[in-house]
Every structure is written in C-alpha cells, then in structure tokens.
C-alpha cells in the first residue's frame, strides 16, 4: 500500500473499530459506513473478522457478538428476519421462546428458531443454530410472542424453569392479554392435535366461549390421548384427552 494512502486507511479503520465498539452487540453492513471509501471499509471489516471481534454471516453482513456463559451470542431472530432473503417468517423456538415469554433466564448454548420456510441460509443464521422448518403459513400473521407461545405449547413447556403450577399460571396470564387467545384460536386448525388439545384445556380454564372450544374439540380424534408435558397439571387436562401421569395428580393448579 502506498505510503500516501496508509494514513487515511488507518484513520478509517480506527473510526470503524470505534463505531463498532460503541455499537455493542448488533449486525453491521457496508451501508453503515457509507461516508468511508468502500475498499477501506472492506479491509477494516475483514481485518476485524480475522482478529475475532466480528463474525462474517453472509456477503456484506457482519455480526459483533458478546461473550455469554454459553459462549458467543447469536443474532436475535428479529434481526435475522430483517436480513434473510425473501419473505420468510422467523421466530424464536426452544429456550429462546421460553426466554422471550419469561419462563427461563437461560439463552442456550445454541440458538433455536422456527420458520415457515423449507430452509434458511446457514451462513446467516449460524451453523449450530437449531432450525425448525415448515411452520404453518398462518404463522406469518403472528407476532414474535404469539409464535413463541405456540412453540412453547408444542414442546409441552419443557423449557420452563418454573414449577408446573407457576408455568401454567404464567401461560394463563399471557393468554389473558387482549386478543392473544383469539389470535391463536384462529390458526389452531393448522397446529398439531396435541397443541389444539392443550389450547382447549387452557381455553376452558380461561372461560373461553364454548362454541369456539367446540370447534377445537371437533378437530381431535376422541380416541387419541396426548402427552401434555407440564400442562397435564391443568384442571381440565383429562377433559381434553391428556395422558395423566401419577405425579400430575398432585401438581394440578388449584
């Protein structure tokens, strides 16, 4: 590099490092440094990637992680969704969903997301991220919290750090928020039978309209019994075809 350009390039690199350092954990693109020469920006970002202070997720997209008890952090699903190509819906799943809803303070060693797409670009979301694909198209209309609730129900609440009673109380609290239960009810037909059954038991607890619950019941095979996970402690679990376990008999909600 000619001596005449070394000074300005070093200055640009220093300014970019400073901006990224002050920006904290977030995604960075070339467009974030439009006031600097394109080549100088590329060199600075590449150098920071080699040194480990940035991660290159995809062409022109970089991420500054933070250290956690479980290793390096990963970009949140909302940030990924804004950058993922096409119109793919992306939501938190597993521990990430439980964390968003207030059932755990953990963040998990590996990220976990769900999407209505058949696949997602691994360079963007990270090779170790657990991806649950082919969620119903109806999920496009859901908020992050609504989708996280369905993910939490799909796994029977196993990611919760709370007791079954407190977990159920928290779920009922969240479902009582204006319009949430109705929104989930509208797309319940696209959910697995177990989720429909759990929603039915929760809806009965909430005092939902009998007609809407009847539609849920009609969508279930009356001979099937479902593993409700922690939701087997619901008072109306047996009415909604839950497989009750012995320990559940003593942990039902009052």
Is residue 3 predicted with pLDDT exceeding 50?
no
Find the helix packing angle between 193-206 and 164-175, rounded to 10°. Answer: 80
Q: What is the pLDDT of residues 147-191, one digit of tens each?
A: 999 999 999 999 999 999 999 999 999 999 999 999 999 999 999
The pLDDT of residue 95 is: 93
Considering the domain architecture, whether residues 93 and 120 belong to the same structural domain is answered as: yes
Q: Using 50, 70 and 90 to split pLDDT, how confident is the model at 79?
A: low
**Is residue 166 domain-shared with residue 253, that is, in the same domain?**
yes
Residues 57 and 107 in one domain: no
Domain assignment of residue 168, given as a range: 162-254
Same domain, yes or no, for 45 and 81? Answer: no
Q: Where are the alpha helices (DSSP H) in 162-209?
A: 164-175, 180-186, 193-206
Those residues whose C-beta lies under 8 Å from the C-beta of residue 12, and which sit 6 or more positions away, are 36, 37, 40, 41, 44
Q: What is the CA radius of gyration of the chain?
A: 23
Residue at a domain's end among 161, 188, 222: 161
**Residues 171 and 153 occupy one common structural domain:** no
Mean pLDDT of the chain: 85
Are 172 and 254 in a shared domain? yes
Please tell me whether residues 157 and 169 are part of one structural domain: no
Domain count, the chain: 3
Q: What is the CATH number of the domain that holds 13?
A: 1.10.10
Q: How far is the C-alpha of 103 from the C-alpha of 80, rounded, in Å?
A: 23
Residues 105 and 188 in one domain: no
């Amino acid at each position: 590099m000619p001596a005449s350009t070394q000074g300005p390039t070093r200055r640009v690199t220093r300014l970019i490092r400073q901006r990224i350092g002050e920006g904290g954990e977030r995604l960075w693109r070339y467009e974030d440094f439009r006031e600097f020469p394109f080549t100088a920006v590329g060199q600075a970002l590449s150098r920071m990637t080699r040194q480990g202070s940035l991660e290159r997720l995809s062409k022109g997209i970089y991420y500054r992680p933070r250290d956690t008890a479980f290793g390096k952090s990963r970009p949140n699903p909302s940030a990924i969704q804004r950058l993922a190509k096409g119109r793919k819906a992306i939501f938190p799943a597993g521990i990430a969903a439980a964390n968003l809803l207030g059932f755990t303070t953990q963040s998990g060693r590996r990220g976990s997301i769900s999407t209505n797409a058949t696949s997602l670009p691994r360079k963007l979301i990270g090779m170790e991220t657990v991806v649950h694909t082919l969620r119903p198209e109806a999920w496009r209309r859901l908020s992050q919290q609504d989708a996280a609730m369905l993910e939490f129900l799909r796994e029977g609440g196993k990611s919760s750090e709370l007791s079954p009673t407190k977990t159920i109380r928290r779920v009922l609290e969240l479902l009582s928020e204006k319009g949430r239960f109705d929104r989930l009810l509208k797309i319940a037909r696209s959910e697995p039978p177990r989720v429909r059954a759990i929603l039915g038991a929760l809806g009965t607890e909430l005092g939902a309209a009998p007609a809407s619950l009847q539609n849920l019941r009609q969508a279930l095979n009356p001979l099937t019994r479902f593993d409700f996970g922690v939701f087997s402690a619901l008072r109306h679990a047996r009415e909604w075809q839950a497989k009750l376990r012995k320990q559940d008999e003593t942990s039902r909600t009052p």
